[in-house]
Amino acid sequence: MTFPALTRLAQTSVPGGTEVRDEESSVHDQVYEALANRLIQGQLPPGKSVSLRTLASGLGVSPMPVREAVRRLIAQKALELQPSNKRLRVPSLSEDRLRQLMMARQWVEPELAFRAVAAMTRDVIAELKADDQRLMAALGKGDVDGYMQANHAFHFRIYRLAQADLFLDMAKTLWLQSGPFMRVVFGRLGTVQLPQDHHQELIRAFETGDAGAVRQHMSDDVHEGMELMLEALKG
Amino acid sequence: MTFPALTRLAQTSVPGGTEVRDEESSVHDQVYEALANRLIQGQLPPGKSVSLRTLASGLGVSPMPVREAVRRLIAQKALELQPSNKRLRVPSLSEDRLRQLMMARQWVEPELAFRAVAAMTRDVIAELKADDQRLMAALGKGDVDGYMQANHAFHFRIYRLAQADLFLDMAKTLWLQSGPFMRVVFGRLGTVQLPQDHHQELIRAFETGDAGAVRQHMSDDVHEGMELMLEALKG
DNA sequence: GCCTCGAAAATGTGATCACAAAATGGGAAA
DNA sequence: TTTCCCATTTTGTGATCACATTTTCGAGGC
């Protein structure tokens, strides 16, 4: 679970070091993106404990920007402070919480897809098809990580088109929360019986501009994935 | 716009000072609560710029815990960093964003109210009635701040009963985002033509245990308030 | 009077230090 | 071997320092 150091940050840097601020995002942002990616892709399992200093040295930065990134992730419930310890870890999901997650995702993501219809272009559809091919290829190879990444790329390529920042943020937060658990479930099941993907139908609906069908297929896709997680949690 | 110092924090404190950690929340949490309250009650107008050091000295703490609280509020879109400046301020709402806020609130809050029905007790109903009386009294006096506070108390007294942490967090975030703007609108309108409140009907529905009616009345209440904001934004 | 320019103050960001509490680990006792 | 205890290490938290950038504001020139 070592983290590749942030390449952009090579040139650190004694106290109050000499950074060029313009045109590049802050260290805090880079740390946040690095952690968020790993969470969404499920590279940090639920219950995994993490620590500021470990993360910081792994990324080659001081604990300071890590604290801010972590605080942000805690606000999104993507990390939590154990009340007893005050120690940091990746949260586990109760069935109750998973059900709420499922309901929320099923509300916001079809809406995002619906709104994306108007902004859809041939180019983006081509990219979606590429995402879906990567996804199917990963399925074929039993590559769970590849599946997780391609699935994420596919969905958020759509959501970004919706021009709905608030909803997009909600979706990001919900994925951050479900990522670790989703990875465990899919890893356990193997990639064989992964959900019948509705991506093909989704793409077709985008091509014909049928917004109602887009909404429905996205709803089905989310529903099926979450149902799988629910079964895994109970079983 | 001075902030009363955090009373609990009187005993600060040279570097690495001597704090008692157990049983009391961290300074960061207290700062967060202080800021969140002021935002929800609309005491910080949209566009208002704030600064870490000013907040810190106003609260009698070092900038450190304020940075973490602020980072958390930024994650909730209750504060924002201006991209040009990297300076901190209370966000303004576009019509587009307000509409998304409205849709989200209208999805999650009726659901929370619906779930609260099962856990409702005579005691809580009595407290709700007290909240509503405070609200009406504030209305009579033209006391916008009192209205904001009583309204918030009323709603979240219900939502807390729902035993749905994720939804509750979503509602908190949404209120944090709408608070500043709501205060401006109600302040501009005066308290005269505030929305016909549905609180009485809501209380009655809780008393009879009619969950469907609870959901409907909450939906109406949220809808009406947000419509008022929408008109104010356009007009 | 109005504008311009430069010095001073303020601000966000990152690094480092200090401290209390919790976790860890290894050796002694049973 | 197992269990208990204490020293060492690790961890989160808050304060402070250093630095580059931006804002502020008053003096001087038109």
Query: Which of B100, B102, B169, B226 has the most A C-beta neighbours within 10 Å, making it the best mutation to test the interface with A?
Result: B100
pLDDT of residue B84: 87
Per cent of chain A over pLDDT 70 is 87
Query: Can you say whether the dihedral through the CA atoms of A178, A181, A183, A189 is positive or negative?
Result: negative
Residues in chain B within 8 Å Cβ distance of A104: 108, 166-167, 170
Tell me the per-residue pLDDT of B82-133, one tens digit each, with 9 for 90 and over: 998 899 999 999 999 999 999 999 999 999 999 999 999 999 999 999 999 9
d(CA A73, CA A94) in angstroms, rounded, equals 19
Ordered by where they begin, the domains of chain B are 7-89 (1.10.10.10), 95-234 (1.20.120.530)
User: B20 pLDDT exceeds 50?
Assistant: no
Average pLDDT on B173-192 reads: 86
pLDDT of residue A197: 72
Cβ atoms of residues A120 and A214 within 8 Å: no
d(CA B179, CA B35) in angstroms, rounded, equals 12
Give strand letter and number of the nucleotide nearest A49 (CA to C1'): D11
Q: Residue B140 is inside which H or E element, if any?
A: helix B122-141
State which residue has its Cα closest to the C1' atom of C16.
A15
Task: Note whether B172 contacts A: Cβ–Cβ < 8 A.
Answer: no
Q: How far apart are the first and last CA of chain A?
A: 28
Task: Note whether A62 contacts B: Cβ–Cβ < 8 A.
Answer: no
pLDDT of residue A189: 74
Task: Note whether A164 contacts B: Cβ–Cβ < 8 A.
Answer: yes
User: B3 pLDDT exceeds 90?
Assistant: no
User: B18 pLDDT exceeds 60?
Assistant: no
Contact state of A165 with B97 under an 8 Å Cβ cutoff: yes
Higher pLDDT, residue B225 or B14: B225
Low-confidence ranges of chain A (pLDDT < 70): 1-24, 190-196
Tell me the per-residue pLDDT of B33-82, one tens digit each, with 9 for 90 and over: 999 999 999 999 999 999 999 999 999 999 999 999 999 999 999 999 99
- Among chain A residues, the shortest Cα distance to B101 is held by A166
User: B156 pLDDT exceeds 90?
Assistant: yes
